[in-house]
Each structure stands twice: as C-alpha cells, then as structure tokens.
Amino acid sequence: MLSASRTFLRSTAAPTLRAQRRHATSVAAFNGQKNAKGNYIVSMIEGDGIGIEISKAVKEIYAAAKVPIEWEDCDVTPSLINGRTTIPEPAVKSINKNLVALKGPLATPVGKGHQSMNLTLRRTFNLFANVRPCKSVVGYKTPYDDVNTILIRENTEGEYSGIEHTVVPGVVQSIKLITREASERVLKYAFEHARSINKDRVLVVHKASIMKKSDGLFVDTAKEVAKLYPDIKVEFELIDNTCLKMVTDPAPYEDVVMVMPNLYGDILSDLSSGLIGGLGLTPSANMGDHVSIFEAVHGSAPDIAGKGLANPTALLLSSVMMLRHMGLDSYGSKIEKAVFDTIASGTANRTRDLKGSASTSHFAQEVIKRLA
C-alpha cells in the first residue's frame, strides 16, 4: 500500500535531497481498487469558469497517455438543505466510492449567497491537510530560479470556520476556531510528510504573538507532536516574517516542510506561486484519512473564462500528484515531463499567463506530442 505522504516526494523533491532515508506511513494512504477492466475510477468535478477548459485538456492528455483510469463526472451544484450548503448526494456517493477526485475551481459568491463549496467539500470528506508544493519551472525565467517549497495548510477550521454574526449593526464578529484535535492531525501529517521526503525540519508558521490562545494552541500542539518525531527538528516563525524572508530569498525554505493554520496557508501559497510564475503553475492535494481530492491552487478566473486562455498546468500537476498517490507513478512522471518540456519549448507553446501566445487546447496538443 502506498503512503500519500511519500507520493509527493517525486513531484517536489530536489535531486540534491539528503540520504535515501525513507519512511513509509499509512497516513492518508490510498485504498482504491481497480475495476474489472484494470482501471481505477476517479471522480471528476470540472468546476466553474476556466474549470471546463482545463478539465477538458486533462481528459485529452490522459486519454493520449493511456492512463488506466475512468472519469466519473460529478455535479456539485450546491443546494440549501435546512439552511446548510450541501453537496448533491450522487457526488458524495461517487467520491466516497472512488476515494479519489480531481477537482476544477469552484466560484464562491462574495459577501452573500451559499457557503464556499470548496470548504463544504473539505469538511464533508474531512480533508484535513492541504499540501501545496511550489517549485521553479525550468525554462520559465522568474526572479528566483531555485524556489522549491512545500507548505501544508490546515484545511478544516481556523479563520475559515464560517462562524460569523452581526453583534449590532456595524459590528461583526468572525470566530477563528482552533482545536487541539485538528491541529494535532495536520501537524502529525506534516511530520510524517517531512520524513517521507527526507527533510529533517518542520517549520510551524503562526502569529501566536498576537493570537496567543488560538495560534498559541497550534504552537503548543506542535511542540507536543514534535516529541513523537525526535529525528525531525521543529522550528517556529511568525507569518509576517516568513512572507518577508520568502520574497527576499526563498532558497532557505527548500529544506523545511512548512505547516500552518488555514488562512496563512492560503495566502503564503499564493505568494509562493507568484515567485514561480503565477497561479497557473501550482498544484495541491487535499488529504483525508479516507478520501483525497486534488485541485489547482487557483480559482475559476472569471476574467479569462471561456476564452481558451487558461493554463491547464496547475490542474495537470495536481493530477500528477493524484497519480502518485494512487501508485501510478510512471504515468504521472510521463505527463509531468511532457508538461515541463512543453513550457520549456518556448513562448509559442505557452499560455498567456506565462508570457506566451498558446491557447489552452494548443498547449494540450503540444503536451500530447511530448508524451514519450
């Protein structure tokens, strides 16, 4: 059985990583079974906006690469049941059956309307850890050539608990919920993940100087969890300091696995994306004990939706993380190499966000040509 933690190694680890010390872990391992045709079934949520275009590109590339999976499309149009934003039952059944899903971005109305379906999915399937690797892309020049960070974001609570109310008109309270249980779970995942990718430092990013109780609990829990991993050093840094240091020189962050409460992870991962060329390049994995959902870090990009301009790389690299999670490493590596070779081949084959002129479908066809 494959460990999910271990599976991210090959997509994110620099070749210079120390030692061959590998520790398999059963945290968030994939337990899916192939069907009679020898394929895994994967739930597919195409998503909103550019989700339609980039999912189509993924499906075309997977068909060309003959990946042994079958897609099961899921409709996650939200419905309100007893005042709660709810995922349609067929989608819940599909994901619970297949144990793995690839997801396009889902738009969330601002300041009104239904709760975020992204949050609803994370809560419904208890996807407690959001893993966000961010690595410089060879062939696409940015101010830094050596970004190689891995950030793990607590995915179920914190500032995203959705507990808000109006105290009196003009005064609103939003509750940041931090529990020892959820903190412990994501921190353990971070330590396990560090072990599995041969890193011996975990950096806990927080703001316990101000949020002494909530972030204080996260920090205290980290100190407790660290005792279970004597081979891994735990370090602490304030979120504002991390932002400053990372944009000044990201190289030192290659050696650590960062872990942090929800909002900090959301912001810091976008910051990291900016360092390597933008949101079109950064994948992520939402890990749970039972189910895992893989998705790009970016949103539905309404400004370019339907125009054939979207870069499918982030969703493709998320799908590569998914394939490694499922033990389909060779297919993952083949697709990953074809994607990077296409980006490196020049501006004619790159999408506009990477200063190129290619459409989404042109990029997909170029990736297909490079599938060895």
Ligand X SMILES: NC(=O)c1ccc[n+]([C@@H]2O[C@H](COP(=O)([O-])OP(=O)(O)OC[C@H]3O[C@@H](n4cnc5c(N)ncnc54)[C@H](O)[C@@H]3O)[C@@H](O)[C@H]2O)c1
Residues binding ligand X (CB under 6 A): 50, 105-108, 118, 279-280, 295, 298-304, 310-311, 314, 353
Nearer to ligand X, 122 or 334 (CB): 122
Nearer to ligand X, 11 or 25 (CB): 11
Query: Does residue 164 contact residue 174 with C-beta atoms inside 8 Å?
Result: yes
| Closest CB 143 distance from ligand X, rounded Å | 18
What are the φ/ψ torsions at residue 265 (nearest 5 degrees)? -65, -40
Tokens of 232: 């891994």
Nearest-CB residue to ligand X? Answer: 299
Pinpoint the alpha helices (H) of 99-140. Answer: 117-124
Nearer to ligand X, 208 or 315 (CB): 315
Gap between the Cα atoms of 331 and 266, Å rounded: 29
Query: Does residue 296 contact residue 318 with C-beta atoms inside 8 Å?
Result: yes
Nearer to ligand X, 62 or 160 (CB): 160
Look-up of token digits 């050596």? 146
DSSP bridge partners of 79 = 86
| Closest CB 318 distance from ligand X, rounded Å | 10
DSSP bridge partners of 192 = none
The H or E element spanning position 166 is strand 158-168
| Closest CB 198 distance from ligand X, rounded Å | 29
Nearest one of 134, 36, 38 to 328, comparing CA atoms: 38
| Closest CB 278 distance from ligand X, rounded Å | 7
| Closest CB 106 distance from ligand X, rounded Å | 4
Nearer to ligand X, 242 or 318 (CB): 318
Nearer to ligand X, 256 or 314 (CB): 314
SS3 of residue 151 by DSSP: strand
| Closest CB 251 distance from ligand X, rounded Å | 25
